Amino acid sequence: MRVQAYGAHAGDKPLEPLQITRRTPGAHDVQIDIAFCGICHSDLHQVRAEWAGTQFPCVPGHEIVGRVAAVGAHVSGFKTGDLVGVGCIVDSCKHCDDCDSGLENYCDGMIGTYNFPTPDEPGWTLGGYSQNIVVHERYVLRIRHPEAQLAAVAPLLCAGITTYSPLRHWNVGPGKKVGVVGIGGLGHMGIKLAHAMGAHVVAFTTSESKREDARQLGADEVVVSRNAEEMVAHTKSFDFILNTVAAPHDLDALLVLLKRDGTMALVGAPATPILRRMSST
């Protein structure tokens, strides 16, 4: 079927209206009328060809929410009218250890929501900046709150899971001291989630002007990282640090803040690898 979308025909071209083809729903497919799609900064990098491998025309978008318009004959978990979401993955092999563990993002056959090879026209996936999308039921998420604000739900499907996943994996909760570095699109979610999980949350920012914002998001303390005294005061005190910064920055200044056996997870997506000095201490 032909549907309206927004996409770019080259890295130096703006997004513009275009028509794309969606496959006819198969037996296990869910067709979704898209209500909102969040704008992830990675969408901008990809559509501008700032990251390698962009296929054009490129229709970005992997923070998708909407309502089910149709379901395949063998779909049992969804029905027409259901509120649903789709995140960064629309397919995988479905039978490897990673898929069996619910970690399809590690599957060698994982297919992303856009710019990944697929047998469907035009040969690569096209994302959520469009009227609708057809996705295998395995990769569709139910939105169970009937009065959910869908525009606010959309960013949870990338920024939300990107920050929630490491917090959950490293058992963040009461009694844990957690640092969140950067108060941007990922960082503000990280602060709110860590606070909701019961941790003592310390936000790190280079901007004095963001101190009050961080507290309103749920930070118990705020450190302006340009202030050496504030940084030193937290040496060897963190159980976990969620680092959301994509720009080049000094990792050593953060690593010394971890307790022995503490963990720092880097979830920002830098354009080039972040390097750190190696030492024997």
Q: Which long-range contacts (CB under 8 A, 24 or more apart) does 168-174 make?
A: 170/239, 170/240, 170/263, 170/265, 172/197, 172/199, 172/239, 172/240, 173/197, 173/198, 173/199, 174/198, 174/199
- pLDDT at res. 52: 85
Structure tokens of 145? 């709150």
Give the span between the Cα atoms of 215 and 48, in whole angstroms.
35
CA angle 266, 170, 167 (to 5 degrees): 65
State how far the Cα of 103 lies from the Cα of 94, in Å rounded to an integer. 10
> Domain of 207?
161-266
Q: How far apart are CA 263 and CA 271, in angstroms?
A: 23
The answer to whether 98 and 80 have CB atoms below 8 angstroms apart is: no
For residue 68, give the nearest of 111, 39, 110, 25 by alpha carbon.
Answer: 25
Domains of the chain: total: 2
- Residue 254 three-state SS: helix
What CATH number corresponds to the domain at position 209? Answer: 3.40.50.720
Residue 184, domain member (yes or no): yes
CATH number, position 76 = 3.90.180.10
Same domain? For 41 and 135 the reply is: yes
Residue 143: helix, strand or coil by DSSP?
coil
Tens-digit pLDDT profile for the chain (281 aa)? 999 999 999 999 999 999 999 999 999 999 999 999 999 999 999 999 998 899 999 999 999 999 999 999 999 999 999 999 999 999 999 999 999 999 999 999 999 999 999 999 899 999 999 999 999 999 999 999 888 999 999 999 999 999 999 999 999 999 999 999 999 999 999 999 999 999 999 999 999 999 999 999 999 999 999 999 999 999 999 999 999 999 889 999 999 999 999 999 999 987 777 666 555 44
- Which residue, 120, 136, 154, sits at the end of a domain? 154
pLDDT at position 281: 46
